[in-house]
Structure 1
Amino acid sequence: MALAQRTAQQSLRRLAVQTPAFKFTTPAAVAFGNAFVAQRRYAAATTVSALQAHDSILAKQRLNRPVAPHLGIYKPQITWYGSAFNRITGVALSGGMYLFGIGYLVAPALGWHLESSVIAASFAAWPVALKVFTKFAVAMPFVYHSLNGFRHLAWDTASLIENGMVQKTGWAVVGLSVVGALGLAVFV
């Protein structure tokens, strides 16, 4: 919060607790202590051993509290996996982009060759199965994250958000992601 906002907020608080005789004091006078209203704040003094005693009491009470159930007791659902995979793919895609960008920038200084022609020539020398697997591994997170993004955009319009439709669209996104990634890996 900016200094001016804090000053105004403190002034208004001081005005609010004033006696009626000083009701019309300016906020600036209140802020700088010229409002003839004495405010006193007393510090509480306790010993360190008293605080340690309170901590030990709290620690003993925590041992008797019930433990909340962990997620492991619940039945897994497509919404859980979909949400987790959406976050993982988002981090993987953005992290991969940042890592490649940093690598591309420092490549000349380190003697690496990350130019497009070198990468394309290296990739062309790979066996076909390895090319398809690599393209699928790169395409799958992108396709899934994109399709799940459209699903979330539909939810923002308050459509397809009933329990049955959430389940169906979750499985549809998974299926379409696999088919789309395979299509990109094989045909592109």
Structure 2
Amino acid sequence: MMSTRAVGLRSAFRQAALGSNSSRSQALRTTLVKRSVQTQSLPPSAAENILNQQRLKRPSSPHFTIYQPQLTWVASIANRVTGVGLSVLLYGYALAYLAAPETFASANVIELIHGLPEVVKYTGKTILAAPFAFHSLNGLRHLAWDSGRFLSLKGAYSTGYAVLGATAITTIGLVLW
């Protein structure tokens, strides 16, 4: 089904010209060009297919491929990854405990860990302590931002480096405790 529509401001100009003298309205009439655009009615699925094809032709943002890594976005990504990782561990252990409470009881877990070699213990503690320390300290950084502090570029970088340093110290402290 094809139809033709007039596109433009002709009617608006015509209304504005009616209140004026006839020579000006004649000039407006001659300068306005009527253009017609052919439209076609499509079912919703066809319109969606056209939109998807147009989206495929758009360039994607180059982000990681051209921009130099910055502390602010690396810390943001790390904060999300550590949060997800810690959540998966917590919920995984909780579900495992619900499924088999005797197997995952505290006494059994302590006995299992006690029998592991020292290298495995320290590696496991580091793998757990580093994300916990970073996520906790970066959360404090975000609370400072929420209170309106350290929002300048210098403040963001100084608190970012402070979080990294405090994460290293806290991780070592938790591993050696």
What TM-score does the superposition give when structure 2 sets the normalisation length? Answer: 0.67
State the alpha-carbon separation in 1 of the partners of residues 99 and 51 from structure 2. 56
Query: Which residue number corresponds to residue 12 of structure 1?
Result: none
Letter of the structure 2 residue corresponding to residue 151 of structure 1: R
Gaps of 5+ in 1: 1-44
What is the CA distance between 1:59 and its match in structure 2?
Answer: 4.3
State the alpha-carbon separation in 1 of the partners of residues 78 and 106 from structure 2. 30
State the alpha-carbon separation in 2 of the partners of residues 69 and 131 from structure 1. 43
Structure 2 residue 170 is the aligned partner of structure 1 residue 170? no
User: Superposed, which structure 2 residues align to 1:68-147 within 5 Å?
Assistant: 68-71=60-63, 72-108=65-101, 113-147=103-137
What is the CA distance between 1:46 and its match in structure 2?
Answer: 3.3
Deviations 1:4-39 (A, max 9, x none): xxxxxxxxxxxxxxxxxxxxxxxxxxxxxxxxxxxx
Larger fraction in strand: 2
State the alpha-carbon separation in 1 of the partners of residues 108 and 56 from structure 2. 61
State the alpha-carbon separation in 2 of the partners of residues 159 and 153 from structure 1. 9
Letter of the structure 2 residue corresponding to residue 181 of structure 1: T
Structure number with greater Rg is: 2
What is the CA distance between 1:104 and its match in structure 2?
Answer: 0.1
What is the CA distance between 1:120 and its match in structure 2?
Answer: 0.5
SS of 1:175's equivalent? helix
- For the aligned residue pairs, the C-alpha RMSD in angstroms reads 2.9
For these two proteins, the number of residue pairs brought into alignment is 137
Query: Which residue number corresponds to residue 41 of structure 2?
Result: 46
Gaps of 5+ in 2: 1-39
What is the CA distance between 1:98 and its match in structure 2?
Answer: 0.7
SS of 1:114's equivalent? coil
State the alpha-carbon separation in 1 of the partners of residues 156 and 162 from structure 2. 10
Equivalent of 2:169, from 168, 176, 179? 179
